[in-house]
């Protein structure tokens, strides 16, 4: 997905504030799941959702005010209860700015870890 860097995303040096990359990654994960046919809202209505349990980012180069970023997310691992997403963020020139991994656990209505529903598991690449 494409994300434009707005002034509100930057610090006083007009580079993206480091925590905002997590927001970009969240948006990309949501769109990735939507493209795979996973309607997150339907699961939330049932009281079930994914919660981030681990996140790692490697900052290589800064994004700056008005840059157009390409935020690309894929699933690199999926188990019965967790899914690990990898996201790369590049600028218009294709330069890698940030690479990150986020592991999310599937939580049931009672807030405990549960098994990812089969249709979600398959949609995200589980076999």
pLDDT band at 43 (very low <50, low <70, confident <90, very high): confident
Q: Is 11 a catalytic residue?
A: yes
pLDDT at 34 over 80: yes
Nearest to 78 by CA among 107, 102, 59: 102
Q: Where are the domains of the chain?
A: 2-123
Give Rg (Cα) of the chain.
16
Average pLDDT over residues 104-118: 91
Catalytic residue from among 9, 11, 54, 110: 11
pLDDT band at 127 (very low <50, low <70, confident <90, very high): confident
**96-107 confidence digits (pLDDT tens):** 999 999 999 999
Q: Give me the CATH code for the 2-123 domain, please.
A: 3.10.129.10
């Amino acid at each position: 997905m494409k994300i434009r860097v707005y002034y509100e995303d930057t610090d006083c040096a007009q580079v993206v504030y480091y925590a905002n990359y997590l927001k970009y990654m969240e948006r990309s994960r949501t769109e990735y799941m939507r493209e795979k046919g996973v309607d997150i809202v339907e699961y939330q209505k049932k009281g079930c959702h994914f919660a981030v349990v681990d996140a790692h980012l490697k900052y290589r180069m800064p994004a700056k005010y008005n840059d157009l970023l390409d935020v690309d997310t894929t699933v690199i691992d999926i188990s019965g209860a967790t899914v690990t997403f990898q996201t790369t963020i590049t600028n218009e020139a294709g330069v890698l700015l940030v690479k990150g991994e986020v592991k999310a656990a599937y939580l049931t209505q009672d807030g405990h870890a549960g098994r990812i529903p089969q249709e979600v598991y398959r949609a995200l690449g589980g076999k």
